[in-house]
């Protein structure tokens, strides 16, 4: 039972990261009806910026942990958001009125470009950082010495992800920007006719999604301490799976899908075979889509006539 509880904590932590990345997929799809397949690489860029920022601050002699974390987080969000904005301007805006397949191919191309761009700049070898936030709390202990614990980073990831989920939901449903986003989702032409700047709304949505990906990259870097140029592809595919699993277009669904995938990975690795955890995730996705094609919280798409 204690082993189960430990894997539950690990799975929720991993799932929270997937959910955070999945929200970016869901927001972009909700606005333009397209999947941003470069989103995983945006997350990877955020992780690399985190590592580089820590290295620069260490070289500059900054040693206070709180100051370092605040500076690194700010720099990571700022630069990664610029990457997200650039992806929208280069890969999506010129093809907005093109057939649906064109921006999809463009996004996949952007994903490959970013992946190879980082590989050329940073090299193919993994980059590591020393642990920044250490410490853990013991929750339970078994007679044979097995301990159920939760680390500082796990607590931060769970609390920060929950807060961001609530914040993004309130942003979409309670703010003028959210109303503009929902208007663009329903009909871009009519939204423009009533005075909404559609281009700026879509760009802002990409920036918000990139900022969330940067936060995910920041937290994963602090949690695992290892980054590489290929990390965005697999994480992006799993986050996309989470968005589809929860119901593409639903923010709570994206987070729920991420948690489900994190738990599947954690329990499958612990009780079955870690080599096949990715297979298990996609098999569950296929099963859910067979039984519930729109995901957990998805709504059937209504064709406008």
3-class SS shares of the chain: helix, strand, coil, % to 5: 75, 5, 20
**The pLDDT of residue 113:** 93
For 195-214, b where at least 16 C-beta lie within 10 A, e where not — what string? ebebeebbbbbbbbbbbbbb
Give me the residues of the chain with pLDDT under 70, please.
298-305
CA dist., res. 160 & res. 154, Å (int):
10
Q: Cα-flanking dihedrals φ and ψ of residue 293, to 5°?
A: -60, -30
Question: How many alpha carbons fall within 13 Å on the CB side of residue 22?
Answer: 34
Rounded CA Rg of the chain: 20
Tokens 């500059």 correspond to: 60
CA dist., res. 16 & res. 235, Å (int):
12
Structure tokens at 12: 């929720």
**The pLDDT of residue 303:** 53
- Number of CB atoms found within 10 A of residue 169's CB: 15
What digits encode the pLDDT tens for the residues 166-213? 999 899 888 999 899 889 888 888 999 998 999 899 999 999 999 999
Whether 181 and 31 have beta carbons less than 8 Å apart is answered as yes
**The pLDDT of residue 36:** 84
Q: What is the DSSP letter of 229?
A: T
What's the pTM? 0.90
CA dist., res. 29 & res. 251, Å (int):
11
- Number of CB atoms found within 10 A of residue 3's CB: 12
**The pLDDT of residue 301:** 58
Contacts of 240 by beta carbon, 8 Å cutoff, 6+ apart: 22, 25, 35, 37, 39, 40
Helical segments of 129-196, H only:
152-174, 176-186, 188-193
**The pLDDT of residue 293:** 77
CA dist., res. 54 & res. 132, Å (int):
10
What digits encode the pLDDT tens for the residues 29-67? 877 777 788 899 999 999 999 999 999 998 988 888 889
Domain ranges of the chain: 15-230
**The pLDDT of residue 228:** 92
- Number of CB atoms found within 10 A of residue 44's CB: 27
Burial class for 243, CB neighbours closer than 10 Å (0-12, 13-18, 19+): buried
Where is 216: in which H helix or E strand? helix 198-224
């Amino acid at each position: 039972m204690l082993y189960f509880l430990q894997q539950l904590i690990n799975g929720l932590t991993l799932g929270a990261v997937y959910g955070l990345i999945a929200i970016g997929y869901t927001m972009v799809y909700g606005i333009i009806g397209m999947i941003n397949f470069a989103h995983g690489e945006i997350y990877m860029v955020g992780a690399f910026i985190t590592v580089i920022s820590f290295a620069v601050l260490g070289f500059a002699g900054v040693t206070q942990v709180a100051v370092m974390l605040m500076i690194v987080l700010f720099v990571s969000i700022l630069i990664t958001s610029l990457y997200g904005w650039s992806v929208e301007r280069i890969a999506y805006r010129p093809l907005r009125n093109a057939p649906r397949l064109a921006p999809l191919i463009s996004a996949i191309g952007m994903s490959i470009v970013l992946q190879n761009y980082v590989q050329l700049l940073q090299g193919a070898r993994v980059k590591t950082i020393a642990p920044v936030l250490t410490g853990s709390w013991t929750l339970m202990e078994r007679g044979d010495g097995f301990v159920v614990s939760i680390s500082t980073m796990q607590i931060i990831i769970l609390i920060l992800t929950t807060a961001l989920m609530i914040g993004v939901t309130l942003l979409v449903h309670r703010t003028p920007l959210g109303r503009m986003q929902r208007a663009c989702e329903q009909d871009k032409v009519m939204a423009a006719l009533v005075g909404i700047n559609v281009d700026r709304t879509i760009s802002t949505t990409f920036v918000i999604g990139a900022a969330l990906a940067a936060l995910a990259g920041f937290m994963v870097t602090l949690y695992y301490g290892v980054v590489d140029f290929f990390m965005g592809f697999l994480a992006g595919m799993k986050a996309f799976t989470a968005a589809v699993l929860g119901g593409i277009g639903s923010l709570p669904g994206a987070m729920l899908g991420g948690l489900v995938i994190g738990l599947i990975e954690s329990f499958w690795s612990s009780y079955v075979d870690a080599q096949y955890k990715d297979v298990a995730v996609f098999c569950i996705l296929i099963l859910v889509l067979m039984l519930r094609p729109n995901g957990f919280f998805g709504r059937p798409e209504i064709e406008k006539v």
